Structure 1
Amino acid sequence: IIEKKINIRGLEIDEVSRTVVLYGETINLTKTEYDILYLMAAAKNRVFTIEEIYESVWKERAYESNNTVMVHIARLRNKIEENPKEPKFIQNVWGVGYKIED
């Protein structure tokens, strides 16, 4: 069995079991939330546009004025961030998109 885990400052993402553990506590994510988190965590420090996230996760073309990604990012932050208004994991890159820093 190949073990594939990503660790970022207390956040552990297991690709094989599709589980997320934050400071030793399992976090329940939807499939979509997990897919967004894994996408960004697997490419730490890379900035993803909203369109890139949408197209990677939903496997279809993004269209303008679609706030689907922003809604899912907000839900994800509510689950993994100590203070979702001052996120430490999922960072905004103003005018571009989002990233997760190492």
Structure 2
Amino acid sequence: MIAVRRPSLWPAACLGAVSFVCLDLGYTAASELRGLSYDPLFWGAVGLIAGPAIGWSTSAAFDAGPFLSATGSSLIAGVALTDAFYGLTVVADTTVPCTGRSPAWRG
């Protein structure tokens, strides 16, 4: 939404925090509906810290100035690479690899 609306940098930072916290609260509500317990405090705090940076960088990535555009794009790419590294190292240790076959497949 920030990329579509293209607000200025400071409103984009606020919208980034709000959207991250709302996503976390939505995940909490969906978990409760499925009968799962989920405490949103940790990720809500992360959203208040990381959300403004992501909102700011998204707005900056679409800026006409080359410095802001490069800075915003680099921050978003850094977050994506960090998340990929985390997924390949930490999450991979606790997840069964996908074989491309359904669990019902026998062979």
User: TM-score scaled to structure 1, two decimals?
Assistant: 0.27
Q: Judging by fraction of residues, say which structure has more strand.
A: 1
**Higher Rg:** 2
User: TM-score scaled to structure 2, two decimals?
Assistant: 0.26
